[in-house]
A and B are shown apart, each in its own frame.
Chain A
Amino acid sequence: MKYLPLIWAGLWRKPARTILTLLSVSVAFLLFGTLHGVIAGFDTGIEMLSDTRLRVQSRAGILTGLPLAHLPDIESVDGVAGLGYFAIFPSYFQVPLNPIAAGAVEMDRFFQGFPDVAISEEHQQAMKSNRMGAIIGEDLAIEHAWEIGDRVTLTSGFWAKEDGTRDWSFEIVGTYRFKGAGLPSNEFWFHYEYLDEARSRAKGTVHLYFVTIDDPLLAGRISADIDRLFINATYPTITENEKDWLRSRLDQIGNIEFFVNAIIGAVLFTLLFLTGNTMMQSVRERTPELAVLKTYGYSDVMIILLVLAEALILCVIAALLGLGMASLAFPSIFAGLGVGPIPLTLSVIVDGFAIAILLAVLSTVPPAWRAQRLNIVDALAGK
């Protein structure tokens, strides 16, 4: 610590250059934190999903309905502990630019299959006694300032009523949230019976079955058994657990991890030259000063350590700023993507600081080498 004034003074020898370098490196770490955080965020999202819940949907696509008549067949598969179903209800509130993620469910089965959904007994009872009732996520309620007792009309381009109209009225009777932090509660759930009785087509169909199993190790076998049941049916099924489903969805977008890592790698590589150049300039300008330090007994190792300490302080402060900004911005970014306010994970922050230290060490090698090789007599003579 006694050398800190010496290190600090060296760092601020050219304040403008130090500040500009600090900002450049900070922005790079902001980028690193955000991009690396996205990957970590996806992993967190996948981890938050259940591996004891399977999704059964049509092999032809999520919007292709499956007969509700499959219910007893799926229930009969060995290892199936519970079964719920869901019909997608693409709709909007007031204007098409205001979409609502809505779905029709059979409430008892649904809540049994999703024990991670927190909903009060009072709201469950209110739902059961109201045919037009709807349970909405707390985030959705906040977004639209909806309260219990409000009557809401959603318009669906996908589902028309038998009378040809597309406006569906509901009464909000309760709210839910997920017990674990991270997943957004922004969906709108209502009675499957209400949809099925009123819709003009595809009666008796659902889009998804949710299968609850007791042993995640049996997921593969149970999925295969379910799909085998309908292999020759009009609509064959595809069954996978929630984690695999999300993973395959992300893979469809492309190898995100590869692209993100490539961008991060390019940024860090550039950063290495930036900090290396700054340190090199700083050492070159201070050649006579370093010679004086050597004259007064500072060893080569000590000179290297002083230069390294400068680079470390610069990189670690920049990482602190960049990752700090990323931590503040990150939950909003994910919330904006509709995934939920996932915080920046600790592993990203730890990785960031490890990279900052590595960056400081690597960028110090050429200037430190130059500084320790300095010939005192030549340097004092200005050669």
Chain B
Amino acid sequence: MAPLLSITGLSKIYTRGKERLEVLKDVNLSVEEGEFLALMGPSGSGKTTLLNLIGGLDKPTAGRIEVGGEVITTLSQRQLTKWRARHVGFIFQFYNLLPVLSAARNVEVPLYLTNLSGAERRRRVAVALELVDLSDRASHKPAELSGGQQQRVAIARALVSDPNLLVCDEPTGDLDQDSTDSILDLLHSLNHDHGKTIIMVTHDPRAAERATMQIHLNKGLLGHKLEAIS
């Protein structure tokens, strides 16, 4: 079976004036469909850069990224924008919800770009909120929700357009232990029960233990892929 994600010879160099910073060096990685990969490493190791490249938010200096059979490194910005809308769900450390919109409206944001009817959009939003167990908070604004609940709304937003890949940048980095456990349970369920492929950047070894695979990045170099003992 072909992997969902295939990365070959990936490098990313940032140039600031005369300074040249190589953040990723010849990264090669393959992730099977239905895998839950934890990407670990110290600060500045290039985890988030790699995640941004996988999610199509940034373009590499060299190398090739193929997701679901589509080489995204050759896509134009416009094509990449459309690709993200169809194939990737993003979950951020600080939730990044729109503060003036209710939870339901926040979840609906990706669906505005589709041709779905209002009724169908609302149905999908209800399903996504049900999945994250927040149906009773649909009309609440982000400020009226706890951190854990806000992250659940962000997860529902990431899920609502039914992408095959979820990229999560330290999704539990801003949460207390109880909320962290609950979010990790949810991600595990999405991976295990709903077959979503998840790539999660984390500093937290406990969070990484919930993944099916772990991989370490250090100074832009990728370590060995380790299958979780659990």
A-to-B contact residues, CB < 8 Å: 2-3, 5-6, 9-10, 12-13, 288-289, 291-299, 302, 376-377, 380
| B45 contacts chain A at the CB level, 8 A cutoff | no
Task: Supply 13 A–B pairs (Cβ within 8 Å), ascending by A.
Answer: A3-B112, A5-B101, A5-B105, A5-B108, A6-B105, A289-B96, A289-B99, A291-B96, A292-B109, A293-B109, A295-B55, A296-B157, A376-B57
Chain A residues with Cβ below 8 Å from B71 are none
Chain A residues with Cβ below 8 Å from B157 are 296
| B13 contacts chain A at the CB level, 8 A cutoff | no
The contact string, 1 if C-beta is below 8 Å from chain A, for chain B 157-169, is 1000000000000
- Whether A296 and B84, one on each chain, are in contact in the complex, defined by CB atoms closer than 8 angstroms, is yes
Given A5-B105, A380-B92, is A297 in contact with B110 using a C-beta cutoff of 8 Å?
yes
Chain B residues with Cβ below 8 Å from A10 are 100
| B26 contacts chain A at the CB level, 8 A cutoff | no
The contact string, 1 if C-beta is below 8 Å from chain A, for chain B 31-73, is 0000000000000000000001001011000000000000000
- Whether A288 and B96, one on each chain, are in contact in the complex, defined by CB atoms closer than 8 angstroms, is yes
- Whether B57 and A9, one on each chain, are in contact in the complex, defined by CB atoms closer than 8 angstroms, is no
| B78 contacts chain A at the CB level, 8 A cutoff | yes
B55 to chain A, nearest CB (A): 8
Going nearest first, the 8 A-B pairs with the smallest beta carbon separation are A297-B85, A9-B100, A296-B110, A292-B96, A376-B57, A377-B58, A297-B84, A9-B101
- Whether A13 and B100, one on each chain, are in contact in the complex, defined by CB atoms closer than 8 angstroms, is yes
The contact string, 1 if C-beta is below 8 Å from chain A, for chain B 70-85, is 0000000010011011
- Whether A12 and B100, one on each chain, are in contact in the complex, defined by CB atoms closer than 8 angstroms, is yes
B-to-A contact residues, CB < 8 Å: 52, 55, 57-58, 78, 81-82, 84-86, 90, 92, 96, 98-101, 105, 108-110, 112-113, 118, 121, 157
- Whether A295 and B100, one on each chain, are in contact in the complex, defined by CB atoms closer than 8 angstroms, is no
Q: Tell me the nearest residue of chain B to A376, going by C-beta.
A: B57
Q: Tell me the nearest residue of chain B to A288, going by C-beta.
A: B96
Bound Cα distance A5, B84 (Å): 23
Chain A residues with Cβ below 8 Å from B112 are 2-3, 6
Secondary structure of the B contact surface, majority rule: helix
Chain B residues with Cβ below 8 Å from A3 are 112
B45 to chain A, nearest CB (A): 15
Chain A residues with Cβ below 8 Å from B105 are 5-6, 9
A329 to chain B, nearest CB (A): 35
- Whether B52 and A377, one on each chain, are in contact in the complex, defined by CB atoms closer than 8 angstroms, is yes
Given A2-B118, A10-B100; 15 other pairs, CB 8 A cutoff:
A5-B101, A5-B105, A6-B109, A12-B100, A13-B100, A292-B92, A292-B98, A295-B57, A297-B84, A297-B86, A298-B113, A376-B57, A377-B52, A377-B57, A380-B96
Bound Cα distance A12, B110 (Å): 21
- Whether A294 and B81, one on each chain, are in contact in the complex, defined by CB atoms closer than 8 angstroms, is yes
Q: Tell me the nearest residue of chain B to A289, going by C-beta.
A: B98
B118 to chain A, nearest CB (A): 7
Chain A residues with Cβ below 8 Å from B118 are 2
Chain B residues with Cβ below 8 Å from A288 are 96
Bound Cα distance A298, B96 (Å): 15
Bound Cα distance A302, B96 (Å): 19
Chain B residues with Cβ below 8 Å from A5 are 101, 105, 108
Of listed B78, B84, B105, B121, residue having the most chain A CB within 10 A? B84
Chain A residues with Cβ below 8 Å from B108 are 5
- Whether A295 and B101, one on each chain, are in contact in the complex, defined by CB atoms closer than 8 angstroms, is no
Q: Tell me the nearest residue of chain A to B141, going by C-beta.
A: A9
Chain B residues with Cβ below 8 Å from A380 are 57, 92, 96
Bound Cα distance A298, B90 (Å): 14
Chain A residues with Cβ below 8 Å from B90 are 292, 295-296
- Whether B96 and A297, one on each chain, are in contact in the complex, defined by CB atoms closer than 8 angstroms, is no
Q: Tell me the nearest residue of chain A to B160, going by C-beta.
A: A296
Chain A residues with Cβ below 8 Å from B100 are 9-10, 12-13
Bound Cα distance A209, B99 (Å): 74
Given A5-B101, A10-B100, A289-B98, is A296 in contact with B109 using a C-beta cutoff of 8 Å?
yes
